[in-house]
């Protein structure tokens, strides 16, 4: 078995053995011509196919398309897992009972829950805070599968999580209960703790677009 330093030496020797470029290759004109030929070939092929499709011809041969995101949303597979949300009871409180099943099963260790005692004796606990670090999440969906209360779902049809910092990629409990309420350029309220009465003051959770309808643009 070769070590890393031996592999590196081997590569350096290989690089020295490489054939020297001819004066014609050093002008880079053949490479430029090759690139232009390739681009033109795709351009004319697509132009021909799009015109042919309009005329009802060659419909079995797909042509490339450009999706004008975010004005035009790409259709998605119905089973696509997108950003998480927490579902609510009719009273406006989260269905989550802070059982920690999702936090325990999460392979990326990116769910952070703080449990609180619920004033309703029928509901043992509720999540005071519920945060997910999407920078670590691998979108495996185990948290959804493990939940005994159908309290967490990955059906918001939101997928873009670009942010200016790692912190910006966190989903706090308010964002989880109302997906799209926070711009990802704004800092999240990480580990913010809510009392049961605070949930009633939050806006209602919007229904996500139907599965496969296309990704929702970021807030």
Q: Which residues sit at the interface with ligand SF4, rule CB under 6 A?
A: 96-102, 106-108, 110-111, 113, 132, 137-143, 146-147, 149, 151-152
Task: Specify the residue for token string 């030496």.
Answer: 9
Question: Please, which residue, 48 or 142, has the CB nearer to ligand SF4?
Answer: 142
Question: Please, which residue, 49 or 100, has the CB nearer to ligand SF4?
Answer: 100
92 DSSP 8-state letter: S
Distance in angstroms (rounded) separating the CA atoms of residues 124 and 91: 16
Question: Please, which residue, 52 or 80, has the CB nearer to ligand SF4?
Answer: 80
CB of 150 to ligand SF4, least distance (A): 8
Question: Please, which residue, 131 or 182, has the CB nearer to ligand SF4?
Answer: 131
Question: Please, which residue, 149 or 160, has the CB nearer to ligand SF4?
Answer: 149
CB of 192 to ligand SF4, least distance (A): 17
CB of 55 to ligand SF4, least distance (A): 46
CB of 75 to ligand SF4, least distance (A): 22
170 phi and psi angles, rounded to 5 deg: -85, 145
Q: Please report which residue ranges of the chain form alpha helices under DSSP H.
A: 4-17, 23-26, 29-54, 101-105, 142-146, 173-177, 196-201
Q: Which string of b and e fits 64-91 if b means at least 16 CB within 10 Å?
A: eeeeeeeeebeebeeeebbbbbbbbeee
Alpha-carbon torsion, ordered 154, 156, 159, 161, to 10 deg: -100
CB of 209 to ligand SF4, least distance (A): 20
């Amino acid at each position: 078995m070769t070590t890393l330093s031996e592999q590196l030496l081997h590569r350096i020797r290989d690089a020295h053995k490489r054939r020297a470029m001819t004066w014609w290759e050093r002008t880079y004109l053949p490479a430029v011509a090759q690139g232009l030929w390739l681009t033109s070939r795709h351009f004319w092929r697509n132009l021909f196919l799009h015109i042919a499709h309009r005329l009802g011809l060659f419909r079995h041969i797909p042509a490339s398309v450009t999706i004008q995101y975010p004005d035009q949303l790409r259709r998605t597979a119905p089973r696509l897992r997108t950003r998480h949300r927490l579902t609510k009871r009719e009273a406006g409180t989260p269905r989550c009972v802070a059982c920690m099943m999702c936090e325990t099963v999460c392979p990326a260790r990116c769910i952070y829950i703080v449990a609180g005692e619920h004033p309703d004796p029928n509901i043992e606990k509720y999540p005071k805070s519920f945060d997910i670090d999407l920078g670590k999440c691998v979108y495996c969906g185990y948290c959804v599968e493990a939940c005994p209360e159908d309290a967490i779902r990955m059906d918001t049809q939101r997928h873009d999580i670009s942010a200016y910092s790692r912190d910006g990629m966190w989903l706090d409990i308010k964002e989880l209960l109302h997906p799209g309420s926070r711009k990802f350029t704004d800092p999240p309220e990480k580990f913010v703790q809510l009392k049961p009465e605070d949930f009633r003051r939050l806006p209602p959770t919007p229904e996500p677009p139907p599965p496969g309808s296309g990704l929702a643009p970021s807030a």
